[in-house]
Amino acid sequence: MSTGGFGRAVWKVKVDAGEIRRMKKKELALEVIERLKKEYPDAACSLDYDEAWKLLVSVRLAAQCTDARVNIVVEKLYERFPDVAALAEAPVEEIEKIVHPCGLGNSKARDISACMKMLQEEHGGRVPDDFDALLKLPGVGRKSANLIMGDVFGKPAIVTDTHCIRLCNRIGLVDNIKEPKKVEMALWKIIPPKEGSDFCHRLVWHGREVCTARTKPYCDKCCLQDICGKKL
């Protein structure tokens, strides 16, 4: 405290610069959320599934593979092995033959087999609605666990796939952070929990249609062009 003119006490408030940056990012995040809502009102997960365990399978197959291809491949997989019990008992070699078009066939087949076995043996064939329990399943990382929590169980989730990481850096919601978990932790601080899951789906759609990675982004068509960090 110091004394100003006329004997008044003047308090010097120390403002944390990091907190100011977070406040600005929160404001930016809310604006991005609202604009993407208008642009993609019906955005949802592009992996086809009608049961929780099928989303677990699909998200594992989607690593380094397009969702469109995964949706085709799993049709054949479920014709042969229609439930958790059947897939848990299936020889890894048989699973691999079917999922081979998705790439990394042996690794993915082993993870799917082990995951279904654990679901059958430890969870009665049901997918747990607990984040930590999901992480214990073979082949399930934070991205997959968040996707299940948000899409299947309607709980707060931040799914940091490649589109999310790339766009959040480009827009300016995170600052040159590429590690998925660090991006997730940074977004939890600025994205309202109820918005997280849908927001991440909308980033995927925006990344595919406008803010593309393999071609020059279509900035002239972007609903975020005037607030995007890359353009400022």
List, by residue number, the catalytic residues.
143, 161
Question: Both tokens of residue 61?
Answer: 């197959």
Question: Both tokens of residue 215?
Answer: 């071609």
- Residues forming beta bridges with residue 3, ordered by sequence position: 9
Beta strand 9-10 pairing with 2-3: antiparallel
Write the CB contacts of 98 (distance below 8 Å, at least 6 apart in sequence): 73, 76, 77, 80
For residue 5, give the DSSP letter: G
- Residues forming beta bridges with residue 10, ordered by sequence position: 2
For residue 153, give the DSSP letter: T
- Name residue 192's amino acid: P
Among the listed residues 167, 182, 174, 178, the one whose alpha carbon sits nearest the alpha carbon of residue 223: 167
Q: Residue 215, Cα to own-chain centre: how many angstroms?
A: 22
CB distance 174 to 183 below 8 Å: yes
Among the listed residues 33, 36, 116, 32, the one whose alpha carbon sits nearest the alpha carbon of residue 82: 116
